[in-house]
Amino acid sequence: MEAKKRRMSTTSRTFAIGMLALALAACSSSVVRENGSGSGPVTSSRAKPGATVVVKRGDNLYRIATDNGITLRDLAAWNGLASPYTIHPGQRIRLYPSSGSASGSAGRGSTATTRAPTRGAGTAATASTPPPAPPRPPVDSGLSWRWPADGELIGRFAGGDPTKQGIDIAGKSGAPVRAASDGVVVYSGSGLVGYGELIIIKHNDQWLSAYGHNRNRLVNEGAVVKSGQQIAEMGRSGAARDMLHFEVRYNGKPVDPLSYLPRR
């Protein structure tokens, strides 16, 4: 077992393990904790008001949930995360519900769900008030953005759709993929399912950008990159055609890249 762990110590394998753990959590009723303690899965959540966890490289949402006595479903709901529960290094995860998320399942033995208010007998029912929308990112990110690749825009961002969390730019295999702004490479690998050869750049404590489906990655984790610097070659790893999938994330949540990229 120890030899196997050593062979899987690279960053990409760590991400792959994280995705596998999430899949097991979703389809199995008896998951053994990753720390090997042999204890049963978390079946009820114990919220920690005011407490947060900063995601480190190699973390996944399932591990953070189990380490803190919270069900995966509750932790995802409290942080507005949809399957496959993608998180990034530097992202802050809340260990308690906000006013618009599920209240948790502490002391109830099962995951709690949000219920509409109950009205007294004889009172006419009215449409329930929708939960508050997540906070909008500031109009000015404080960063100077540029297009990460040349080519036709073939896919647009759609809020709430986990399959459209960024934009897609068509191009030719080997075409340059460039950093959209100054930053530090926090991930360079192929272990995140659905993104192919992927690069993630951290621009500051709030902003990240992601570049997926590359043919070849030209920068390693920890590299300091400048806006416009080539970081990869366009390809079709994990895609049906040569293209770049580009995402911008504010505090870990996807936002529309077209709101920040210059018009062209």
Tally of domains within the chain: 2
156-188 pLDDT, tens digit per residue, is 999 888 889 999 999 999 999 999 999 999 999
Domain boundary among 94, 117, 145: 94
Domain for residue 195, yes or no?
Answer: yes
Partner residues linked to 197 by β-bridges: 214
- In a shared domain, residues 159 and 241: yes
Domain for residue 128, yes or no?
Answer: no
Task: Identify the CATH number of the domain in which residue 85 sits.
Answer: 3.10.350.10
Task: Identify the CATH number of the domain in which residue 229 sits.
Answer: 2.70.70.10
pLDDT band at 38 (very low <50, low <70, confident <90, very high): very low
Domain boundary among 65, 94, 123: 94
206 touches 251 (CB < 8 A): yes
Average pLDDT over residues 218-240: 96
Q: Tell which wins on pLDDT, 80 or 22.
A: 80
Domain for residue 32, yes or no?
Answer: yes
Residue range of the domain that includes 27: 2-94
- In a shared domain, residues 90 and 157: no
- In a shared domain, residues 88 and 181: no
Distance (Å, rounded) from C-alpha 37 to C-alpha 252?
31
203 touches 182 (CB < 8 A): yes
Q: Which two tokens stand for residue 235?
A: 């390809």
Domain for residue 113, yes or no?
Answer: no
- In a shared domain, residues 163 and 252: yes
- In a shared domain, residues 254 and 170: yes
Cα 54 from chain centroid (whole Å): 13
- Residue 72 has a pLDDT of 84
- In a shared domain, residues 69 and 166: no
* Total-model pTM: 0.53
